[in-house]
Structure 1
Amino acid sequence: MGTLVGHVAPGFGFLLIGLWHLFNHIKLHALNTKSYISLPWFPTIKFKYMELLLIMGGCSASIAMELFISPERHQPLDPDWTIPSNHLHNFEHSSISMTFFVYAAFSIILDRMKINPNYHHHLDHDYGLTQLLAAIAFAQELLLFHLHSADHMGPEGQYHLLLQLLILVSLITTLMGIGLPKSFLVSFLRSLSILFQGLWLIVMGIMLWTPDFVPKGCFLHLEEGHQVVRCSGEESLHRAKSLINIQFSWFLIGITVFAVIFYLILLKFYYEKKKSEYVSLTKDLQELQEEEEEEEHHDSSQLGDFDLESRNKKPILLGNANSFLQMGKSFGPIDMER
């Protein structure tokens, strides 16, 4: 981090994950309102662990960028193998990425172990342990941003302060999800906070490291190898922080409106889809029932025809038998000579 790309790239990742979770939680709740259970991650159609592998890939790229690509010597240590002051923030940022990497890796391992019959009965099926790993990752992120080694007293500090509020919401809702796996609102808020984290990181990167967007009375200043926004006086600093607060409040309103509209659209879509599937299933059952009734009617009509033929044949046989008896009676006794 500490640059435009360093904030926009991870922000884009958080934004995608948050939007992906928001979509899937709404979909899952719309299709299974009564049996809804929150999930910490969602499989894709083509590949089950796509989300988790993307997290691992993004974290690996972030670690490589912080520790090996960004430093001038392509390694963050001094010649005596100590960590220099200007690279402390690189280790802090990479530690956050490592924690999310651990979460994603163990999520795959735990899910694979559930398939194994030897461990099937010993693992929880509500993803409680996976949720705990996610909570640890958010706690690590919150801790390191709160105790950041960089000087965050200026506008950058205000951006990070508001970012910590979003991380705190993600942490609390993730912990609540362990005890309330059937709560849609908890999952909805967690997804929204992750989405907002990503959006705020993108905004931070653009607003702090694009010269045209630097607040009036402030300027970019090179310190310890990276640029920092500084303000010329207390009035300029106060104005810059106030603008950041207003910006945050506007984004909060915008995301709230987006989330509710997104929820209503998906709810209507999946309700109509569910309704059409129900109507289609009802029609199929009715057609099947009608076919069965027709077959029963056809069988009963054939059975009726068979009974009618049997009844028509019986008098004929009786008539023949009677005539035969009458013929026997008409002949008199015949004396047989021996």
Structure 2
Amino acid sequence: MGLFNYTVAGGGFILIGAWESLASTSTALKNSSQPSTSQNPSTDKHTQDSVFSSSITFVLILILSFLSVLDSLLSFFDAINSKDNVGSVLQLQVIAISLLFFLYSVLGLMTCLKKSFLLPTPILNLVCLFAFAEEFLLFYLQRKDPSGVENRYYDLLLVPITICAFCSFLELKNPKSSYTRLGRGIGLILQGMWILQMGFAFFSDLVAQGCALHEKSRGNYTVKCKGHQEYHRGRAIATLQFNCHLALLVTVISFVYSIVCKKNGISREHMRYRPIGAEMQHLEMDNQAHFTLDSDEDDNENGIKEEMNVEMQRAIVPVPESETNGYHTGP
């Protein structure tokens, strides 16, 4: 395939993942910063922006999958001319995966651009999930040379593929979630970075010392090492490279996320500082103050009621009947 093909493939994955991540992050921030009311004038605008971003994503996937099919066809005919049966079968698998992504992009574009074409969203997401699952099986089962160092690179490539497949599975349950798109975008970026690293490791002088590339055909190759020590060093270097790529990705994502948050803004409810235990202390102080006031009022009210009762009792004390004109009215 060559370094150029790996560069194009890795750059395409990074571009798709970056666009998907930025679009999903921007959508999530806008949804959190605006009230969710039924009559929101910006709802239609957000819907149009989402359709536009999805259309660009499908176009990028369409171009990359089409280029992958062409490259696999060239590798397939080269394997036939070289009488490499393993290489020809391997390219047929790559073509099948590329056609699945091509079908996913075509259906997605028709759904976004044509209102008359109604395709349930879970079916579209299911096609994407099948494509990632088949890609996972391709690199998981690819063991052309059991002692080849490239197998370690393929094993590490399963990590971003698993992230993409898992996010696509979650999207089946909640198609409108921006966080599943964000996770899949990050997985695509990591996958593209690692494809670039594989290209430089296989087809340049950056391969581990004591190891060299051996090609049977255009798409069938292996990285062999001189001895057991060189083989283990090559595997260790691959693991170290993957960890460096992962750390770089986390740093870049944190930096870009801070810029996007500053540009789009976040709701004040999410940014308001609330010390731990401050609300409980405020409630306790209110309760104590309320109890003290109630006690004083109760005491005053009880005193007033007692005085009123005494006066009422005095008013209703029976008074002896008085004598009229000096005569007693008794019997």
The answer to whether the 8 A contact 1:21-1:42 is kept is no
Give the aligned partner of residue 289 of structure 1. Answer: none
TM-score by length of 2: 0.68
Deviation for aligned residue 1:159:
0.7
SS across alignment from 2:265: helix
Deviation for aligned residue 1:76:
5.7
Which letter does structure 2 place at the counterpart of 1:223?
K
Q: Distance in 2 between matches of 1:208 and 1:83?
A: 20
CA 15–76 in structure 1, closer or farther in 2 if over 3 Å, else same:
same
Give the aligned partner of residue 142 of structure 2. Answer: 148
Give the aligned partner of residue 59 of structure 1. Answer: 65
Q: Distance in 2 between matches of 1:265 and 1:160?
A: 34
1:223 maps onto 2:222 in alignment: no
SS across alignment from 1:172: helix
CA 260–92 in structure 1, closer or farther in 2 if over 3 Å, else same:
same
* Unaligned ranges ≥5, structure 2: 37-42, 269-331
Which letter does structure 1 place at the counterpart of 2:107?
F
Give the aligned partner of residue 7 of structure 1. Answer: 6
CA 51–191 in structure 1, closer or farther in 2 if over 3 Å, else same:
closer
The answer to whether the 8 A contact 1:99-1:140 is kept is no
1:5-154 pair list within 5 angstroms: 5-33=4-32, 43-44=51-52, 49-67=55-73, 69-70=74-75, 74=77, 77=80, 84-112=85-113, 115-116=115-116, 124=120, 127-148=121-142, 150-151=144-145, 153-154=147-148
SS across alignment from 1:187: helix
Deviation for aligned residue 1:84:
2.7
The answer to whether the 8 A contact 1:18-1:195 is kept is yes
SS across alignment from 2:142: coil
Summarize deviations over 1:235-256 as a string: whole Å, max 9, x none. Answer: 1111111111111111111101
Deviation for aligned residue 1:42:
5.5
Q: Distance in 2 between matches of 1:85 and 1:222?
A: 12
Q: Distance in 1 between matches of 2:180 and 2:111?
A: 23
Deviation for aligned residue 1:88:
2.0
Give the aligned partner of residue 334 of structure 1. Answer: none
Which letter does structure 2 place at the counterpart of 1:196?
L
Deviation for aligned residue 1:218:
1.2
Give the aligned partner of residue 189 of structure 1. Answer: 183
Q: Distance in 1 between matches of 2:61 and 2:157?
A: 20
SS across alignment from 2:208: coil
Which letter does structure 2 place at the counterpart of 1:22?
S
The answer to whether the 8 A contact 1:66-1:90 is kept is yes
* Unaligned ranges ≥5, structure 1: 276-338
The answer to whether the 8 A contact 1:11-1:201 is kept is yes
TM-score by length of 1: 0.67
Q: Distance in 1 between matches of 2:99 and 2:176?
A: 30
Q: Which moved more, 1:49-58 or 1:158-167?
A: 49-58
Deviation for aligned residue 1:181:
3.8
Q: Distance in 2 between matches of 1:163 and 1:237?
A: 19
Considering only aligned residues, what root-mean-square deviation do their CA atoms show, in Å?
Answer: 3.1
Deviation for aligned residue 1:196:
0.5
Q: Distance in 2 between matches of 1:15 and 1:194?
A: 6
Deviation for aligned residue 1:149:
5.8
Aligned length: 256
CA 235–149 in structure 1, closer or farther in 2 if over 3 Å, else same:
closer
SS across alignment from 1:150: coil
The answer to whether the 8 A contact 1:59-1:98 is kept is yes
Which letter does structure 1 place at the counterpart of 2:72?
E
Deviation for aligned residue 1:77:
4.7
Which letter does structure 2 place at the counterpart of 1:5?
F
The answer to whether the 8 A contact 1:217-1:231 is kept is yes
The answer to whether the 8 A contact 1:7-1:202 is kept is yes
1:180 maps onto 2:179 in alignment: no
Summarize deviations over 1:137-170 as a string: whole Å, max 9, x none. Answer: 1111111222226336422111110101210111
Give the aligned partner of residue 318 of structure 1. Answer: none
**Percent identity for Structure 1 against Structure 2:** 25
Which letter does structure 2 place at the counterpart of 1:55?
I
Which letter does structure 2 place at the counterpart of 1:192?
I
Q: Distance in 1 between matches of 2:158 and 2:191?
A: 9
